[in-house]
Chains A and B, each alone.
Chain A
């Protein structure tokens, strides 16, 4: 019997990354801008999508993939806005993986502009899983506190956009949006920061305009 050391150097998430890069290619080919939404539960991902649906309606076509541990509730809320939605129930898993999104992709109509993927509410685990998105948005709601970026750095480090949600509650809370943005930018200076209230509409037109520009840029890069 001979004992020997063997170099492996393989990524534990390698299979997920391969599937995700296949999805990214397919979405680019179709001219769809895919966005992965990350946050803790209850920070307003679904409400944000409802408010965005109202603002993109008529000009753009969107579809939504909802990830939750249980129930079809979020997909039903989105469908009530006239937007096609697919629910992935993970049955306990704390994050979406690329292969789960890949399964749904065949059903997503070819003629859409935006695909939003609402991840399972969790500020830790989803950050490690590429879903093939072009944009990653992390949401931080004012009731959660402005100290979260430094406490949960991975989600903020991997995102392109930071949405400070429930901005209408800021006057009533010890939440300093400047501090939240500063902490997040110290981890990731590339972040684009928006302050929004899906409920009252503050900042939502600006965010809709940002997505329209991002879509145009994505399609220009493809051409």
Chain B
């Protein structure tokens, strides 16, 4: 995977958010990473630690929540799925989609703001 380029996008989001909050420091970052996103949490952590030096997030810890995935049937809205033959368990439709497995989302950050 390309964890370093994802971390570069992460820092664009962090800088924008921290700027808007007038934060002095970012102390924690929580990411939600889908099971099927192809992203390796350990590599993400190494990339984050390399990238954060000299930024507002220099002392930040990175929390990675690995999100499971689910199926959703587009025909009936069912979420249960059988593999043989592959179809929605409730209505038999093959028009199902994966939900959540590809997520790469910045959930929340913890910041320190100067008291005014």
Task: Give the Cβ gap from A125 to chain B, nearest Cβ, in Å.
Answer: 5
- CB-defined contacts of B107 to chain A, threshold 8 Å: 7-9
The one of A7, A8, A125 that contacts B1, using a Cβ cutoff of 8 Å: A125
A1-41 CB contact bits vs B (8 Å, 1 = yes)?
Answer: 11111111111110100000000000000000000000000
Specify which chain B residues have a CB less than 8 angstroms from the CB of A177 in the assembled complex.
none
- Is A189 a contact partner of B94 (Cβ separation < 8 A)? yes
* B1-45 interface (Cβ within 8 A of A): 1-2, 5-6, 9-10, 12-13, 17, 21, 24, 27, 31, 36-38
Distance in angstroms between the alpha carbons of A154 and B115 in the assembled complex: 46
Q: Decide: A8 and B104 in contact? CB cutoff 8 A.
A: no
A124 within 8 Å of B by Cβ? yes
Number of interface residues of B (CB under 8 A): 40
**Do the beta carbons of B2 and A125 come within 8 Å of each other?**
yes
A83 at the interface (CB under 8 A from B): no
Cβ-defined contact, A15 with B86, below 8 A:
no
- Are A10's CB and B13's CB within 8 A? yes
A127-B38, A154-B36, A185-B86 are contacts. A9–B112 as well, Cβ < 8 Å? Answer: no
Question: A6: which of B9, B10, B111 is its contact (CB, 8 Å)?
Answer: B111
When distances are taken between beta carbons in the complex, the residues of chain B under 8 Å from A5 are 108-110
A7 (CB) vs chain B CBs: closest residue: B108
Decide: B17 and A6 in contact? CB cutoff 8 A.
Answer: yes
**Number of inter-chain CB pairs below 8 Å:** 98
Asked if A105 is at the interface of the complex by the 8 Å CB criterion, the answer is: no
Q: Is the CB of A12 within 8 A of B10?
A: yes
User: What is the CA–CA distance of A113 and B113 in the complex, to the nearest angstrom?
Assistant: 55
- Chain A residues within an 8 Å CB radius of B70: none
Measured between beta carbons, the chain A residues less than 8 angstroms from B12 are 15
A125 touches B105 (CB 8 A): no
Contact, CB under 8 Å: B27 / A124: no
Which B positions have Cβ atoms within 8 angstroms of A?
1-2, 5-6, 9-10, 12-13, 17, 21, 24, 27, 31, 36-38, 83-84, 86-87, 94-98, 101-115
Cβ contacts A to B, 7 pairs, < 8 Å: A3-B110, A6-B17, A10-B106, A124-B38, A128-B102, A157-B36, A189-B96
> Could you list 14 further interchain pairs (A-B, Cβ under 8 angstroms) beyond the known A5-B109, A154-B37, A157-B101?
A1-B24, A2-B113, A8-B13, A8-B17, A9-B108, A13-B6, A93-B2, A124-B38, A125-B2, A127-B38, A128-B37, A154-B38, A186-B83, A186-B84
